[in-house]
Structure 1
Amino acid sequence: MNLLDIVREAGVIGAGGAGFPTHAKLASKAEYILLNGAECEPLLRVDQQLMELFADEIIKGFEAAGKFVCASKAIIGIKGKHKKVISILRERIKALQVGDFIEVKELPDIYPAGDEQVLVYELTGRVVPEAGIPIQVGCVVLNSETALNIYYASIKEPVTQKYITIAGDIPKALTVKVPIGTPIIDVLKLSGIENFENYAVIDGGPMMGPIMSNLDGYVNKKNKGFVILKKDHYLIRKKSISLEQAKRVNKSACAQCRMCTDLCPRYLLGHEVQPHKMMRALNYKLIDIENQKIAQLCCQCNLCELFSCPAGLNPKSANLYFKGKLAEQNIRYKPNKSEFIARKSREYRLIPSKRLIARLGLYKFDKPAPMTEVELKPELVYISTNQHIGAPAVSVVSVGDYVEIGQQIGKIPEGSLGATIHASISGKVVAIENDFIVIRRG
């Protein structure tokens, strides 16, 4: 098998949040392959630690992927503040004798440096077209943990574990490795909190992550972190506003200052996304469909909603509202040009992470979350068949079957985009229902 087949069989997907099947990315030929080590979401600490602890494995996985897509250059993007990690990576690149192919470039400490279109621009100077993807400008982007999983796939180890940061208003911030399918509540209790009645949990980073409606879920390949905050924290209250509430507030107070647009990362890259126009359309019930289409260019980074607006309004919600309306009518934005140039004002409008963290009320929680060995052995794991972009995996096991850790339990449907899934513990299959394959240990 070639690397693409190996990665597909191992169930490797984008570990940075979206969950796009990695083998589909490796099917393209590219000039650049980029490693996204920015980890720009406040409080999350997975990628920076993986690059320190598993530098050789990540470099080898990244190199293999780069060679496979015929890239002429491989670039690791990491924030310049992580000086120790940068030093380790450069030392190991030299020791592994891959310096003619792989280099490390330092990123500014801004949000959202990890947005893949921002990353492409910072590392190559190229602008991904509106509504486009990096391959359109000759780039393939991989997350640090994804590169690590590519290496493990090459030595016949499929994806069965996930690295997760637990952070926030908690006694103990830490980063752990747990089996996929572990009950999330078991992971959250590693924070030192037992009773979550007065807490809310954000699934992912504090900017883009949603508040979990309940804590009954299970760890999947896309989870990156859980941020635990008291229910009365500003960020929880802000994220708890419904779309209807956001619309009412937006209509009452927007002064069209256009700060939401002037600080928008995609607007600064030269795209036409302009959230202040969506606020205007909402406030005055404008019905010009052509002007509403630009809402589809929003990447939902939440900067406009959680930082830019001086009145604390909800421009992203306005974008989401019009996105939904356009989707109902099956209307899609079509760019009127193929080449884009970043706006000259961009360099003066980048948002420093420290300012963002302070604005979010997270300053006192912005501390290390060290990688910690934990003895977490769930009796039951619930492995989702739908933890990736594409079609759900189709079970290849039956109730009553005994499976070994690493054994494939779900395959990609014929002719579909998807990802395989594997047993994360050894034991008996006790249920296959509601998009889960359930395994009992032992």
Structure 2
Amino acid sequence: MDLIDVIKAAGVIGAGGAGFPTHAKLTSKAEYILLNGAECEPLLRVDQQLMEQFPDEIIRGLEAAGRYIEARKAVIGIKGKHKEVVVLMRERITALGLSNYVEVMELRDIYPAGDEQVLVHELTQRIVPEASIPLKVGCVVINSETALNIAQAIAGSPVTETYITVAGDIPHRMTLKVPVGISIREVFKQCGVDNVDDYAVIDGGPMMGSVMNNLDGYVTKKSKGYVLLKKDHFLIRKKSVSVDRARVIGKTACEQCRMCTDLCPRYLLGHNMQPHKVMRALSYNLADVKDQQIAQLCCECNACELFSCPANLHPKSVNILYKQKLAEQGIRYQPTQLNFEARSAREYRLIPSKRLVAKIGLTAFDKPAPMTQIEFRPETIRVALRQHIGAPAIPVVAVGEQVQAGQLIGKIPDNSLGAAVHSSLSGSVIESTGDSIVIKVGSYV
């Protein structure tokens, strides 16, 4: 079977972000394949530990993907502060005889080093054009867990588990291998949190993740972390402000200092993303949103909102507001140039990770979250049919049917972008809807 077919059959998706189906990402040729091992979100610890535990598999998965797209070089980006991981990966690359094809480059400890476009520039000095993707400058980017899943797919194993860091103001911070479809509350219990009533939970990293409104959800293939903080923590209060409230605050208090723009990672790459101008538009009650198309260049890294703004306003939320308005009117940003250069001030405006952690009040929780082996024994799992960008999977099993761990339970719709879905545990199907499949685990049947 062709590598693309293997990856497609295994249901591999981008494990470090929005969940783009990996088989679709590898359909085009590129000069570089880059492995994003930056893990720039504070408190999350998945990538660095996966590279430490599965270096050969990750290197092999990256190599296979790189060879397939005919990349002339595979580059692994790891923050230089992870010295032991850097040394280990270089040793294993040499031991595998891949020194002429794969190399490790050390990244600076800045935020957001893991932003796809920032990563491309840091590793290749190329700049992805506005409103475009890395492929435009000859690069394909995957993350370390995706590379691991590619290697496992080649070995015959579909994606049925994901690695998650649970961190924050909790008794036991840890990183876990978790069956897809398990209850999120079950994951929290393993970290010593039986009662979550006093907590608010951020799904993902503390910068780009959102506060969960419902804690009765289930783990998906793209789940990467949960940050638990007390409800009165600054970060929770800031993230809980509604878009409408953010609009009112911004309209009345923005002093146009430009700090949101001057420290914006995309602006510093030469893009026309200027949050202060989007904030300015609030003050004029502009009904015509066409002039605010630059909002669509926002990558929602939240640096402006959680680090840059001296008045504690909400530039990212205002960008999202205008993004929504533009989408409703079918307006898309049209770049006026193709070639970009990083702004001369960029080197002096990069955001140090430790300063960011202090600014958002997480220094006390910025501690190791060691990989911990836990055997989960849930009564049921609920496997979502849409864990990825694209169309939801179509169920291929019926209520009452017995399924085995690793069995295909949802296929990609014909002629659609999507990803296959597999059962993470053996059991009996007790519910099947357009959204998910519920399986009663074997030991409870």
> What TM bracket, shorter-length normalisation?
over 0.9
Once residues 351 and 3 of structure 1 are traced to their aligned partners in structure 2, the CA distance between those partners, rounded to angstroms, is 39
Task: Determine if contact 1:7/1:153 at 8 Å carries over to the other structure.
Answer: yes
Say whether the 8 Å CA contact 1:281–1:287 is kept in structure 2: no
Q: Are residue 428 (structure 1) and residue 435 (structure 2) matched? A: no
| Distance apart, 1:229 and its partner CA | 0.1
- TM-score, with length taken from structure 1: 0.99
Find the residue that maps to 2:218 and give its secondary structure.
coil
Matched with 1:437 is: 437
2:345 counterpart SS class: helix
Q: Which amino acid aligns with 1:320?
A: I
- For structure 1, which segment, 429-438 or 256-265, has the greater mean C-alpha deviation from structure 2 after superposition? 429-438
- Give the aligned partner of residue 154 of structure 1: 154
Deviations 1:327-351 (A, max 9, x none): 1100000101111111111000000
Aligned to 1:64: 64
Aligned-pair distance for 1:323?
0.7
List per-residue Cα deviations over 1:256-307 (Å, max 9, x = no partner).
Answer: 0000000000000010010000110012223454420000000000000000
Tell me, in whole angstroms, the C-alpha distance in 2 between the residues paired with 1:318 and 1:425: 42
**Overall identity of the aligned pairs, in %:** 66
Equivalence map 1:172-183=2 (5 Å): 172-183=172-183
Cα distance in 2 between the residues matched to 1:23 and 1:171: 39
**Deviation (angstroms), 1:100:** 0.2
Q: Which residue of 1 aligns with 2:254?
A: 254
Residue 271, structure 1, aligned to residue 271, structure 2: yes
1:215 is matched with 215
Q: Which moved more, 1:115-124 or 1:282-291?
A: 282-291
Please say if 1:317 is aligned against 2:317. Answer: yes
User: Is 1:382 aligned to residue 382 of structure 2?
Assistant: yes
Distance 1:158 1:322 in 2: 39
User: Which residue of structure 1 aligns with residue 362 of structure 2?
Assistant: 362
Cα distance in structure 2, aligned partners of 1:138 and 1:101: 16
Cα shift at 1:243: 0.7
**For residues 90-105 of structure 1, what are the structure 2 equivalents within 5 Å?**
90-105=90-105
Question: How far apart are the structure 2 equivalents of 1:91 and 1:114?
Answer: 23
Contact 2:289 2:322 in 1 (8 A): no
Report SS of the residue matched to 2:128.
Answer: coil
* TM-score w.r.t. length of structure 2: 0.98
| 1:20 pairs with 2:40 | no
Aligned twin of 1:224: 224
What is the aligned partner in structure 1 of residue 187 from structure 2?
A: 187
5+ residue gaps, structure 2? none
Return the alpha-carbon distance in structure 1 between the equivalents of residues 106 and 242 of structure 2: 38
Q: Residue 237 of structure 1 corresponds to which residue in structure 2?
A: 237
SS state at 1:218 partner: coil
State the AA in 2 paired with 1:10. A
1:119-134 alignment to 2 at 5 Å? 119-134=119-134
Is contact 1:170-1:191 (8 Å) kept?
yes
CA distance in 1, matches of 2:193, 2:428: 31
Question: Residues 229-248 of structure 1, C-alpha deviation per residue, up to 9 Å, x if partnerless?
Answer: 00000000000000111111
Match of 1:51 in 2: 51
Indicate the SS of the match to 1:324: helix
**Cα distance between partner residues in 1 of 2:289 and 2:421:** 42
**What letter matches 2:121 in structure 1?**
Y
Q: How far apart, CA to CA, are the structure 2 residues paired with 1:245 and 1:111? A: 27
Give 1:181's aligned amino acid: G
Mapped partners of 1:177, 1:128: distance in 2: 34
**Alignment RMSD, CA only?**
0.8
- SS of the counterpart of 2:371? coil
Q: State the alpha-carbon separation in 1 of the partners of residues 290 and 425 from structure 2.
A: 52
Q: Name the CA distance, whole Å, in 2 between partners of 1:105 and 1:438.
A: 43
**Contact 1:160 1:180 survives alignment (8 Å):** yes
